[in-house]
Structures are given as structure tokens and as C-alpha cells.
Structure 1
Amino acid sequence: MNRILSARSLIPRARANLSTSSKCFDIAKVKRNQIRFQENNGKPIHLKGGPMDLTFTYLTMAFTFGSACYAFYGLSQLIMKK
């Protein structure tokens, strides 16, 4: 019973922390990002973040292709007679 009462006393503190943490964002930073991502420069939205976005995109494609090849290799090993 004590544990339930102590857990109930933590709930108001958690709500106070969550409600105050949502006010910490910078409005000017949001406006700058809106301008950067809305400009028409011919790039898709997932590449407008800069060169690291392009790097992560290519890295994700490489991992996906490698995983697909490894999956087909594993399936071919299961299909082949030993």
C-alpha cells in the first residue's frame, strides 16, 4: 500500500516537469529551419538538411542492399541440397 501511495505522489511532479520542458524550444530557430526547408532549390525534403543527410541516405541504402543480398544468400543456402 505504501508503494502505491508513493507512486501517486510522483505523478504531479512528473506532470510539472513535462509541461515546463515543452517551453524550451527556440522560436527563432524554428523560423530559420522553416525558411531553409521551404526554399525551392530542387532538392527533396529529406536532403535539405545538408551533406550529412546525403551521407546517411547513401549509408542507409548500402545497408539495405547488403542486408537484402545477405538474406538472399541465406535463403539460397537453405534451398540448396547439402
Structure 2
Amino acid sequence: MGYSYKTYTDTKEVMKKYVNAREGKIIYSIGKTRFMALAGEAGAIYKVGNSALVNTEVFETYLEQFHEPSRSLPKHIWKKLQESDVDRDSPHK
């Protein structure tokens, strides 16, 4: 029997608005404690009886403030990558 693993990008369109800590740690690939701490900072936690639910829309808006712009590769690495591309394009016959 095969296993079917879903990734976040596969399920983003049907993602729940509210998740518990266990679901949140899987979706965002961080620990449960860290997820709940960030959700608390974001003000995204809703207490329902003994359960705590996190609003993913509020959480993701808060998470965007940690986004860092991408950096270009160092020149020595960039040159190696370009050289390896040239080697692949040349015939070895």
C-alpha cells in the first residue's frame, strides 16, 4: 500500500481558517511551542473551551513581517555554477 503525502502548496486552496497547535506545526514546519508563541504574538489565538485555535489568516499576516529579501550568491559560487553549466552543454564524445 502506498502512502500519499500532501504538502502545504498542494493544500493551500483548501486550507482551514482555524487550526490547532498540532496542525499548525505541520503546516508551517516549526515546533508546536514556537508556533503557539508566534500565534500569541500575532493575536491569532482563540480559546474555545479547553482548546486553542489559531486563525491562519491573522497568523500569516503576522508572519510576513519576518520575510527577508533574497540575496545574490557570492561570486565564487556563481562562477562555479556557470562553469558546471558550460560543462554540461559541451559534448563528451
Normalised TM-score (structure 2): 0.30
Give the helix-richer structure, 1 or 2. 1
Give the strand-richer structure, 1 or 2. 2
Higher relative contact order (CA 8 A, sep 6+): 2
Normalised TM-score (structure 1): 0.33
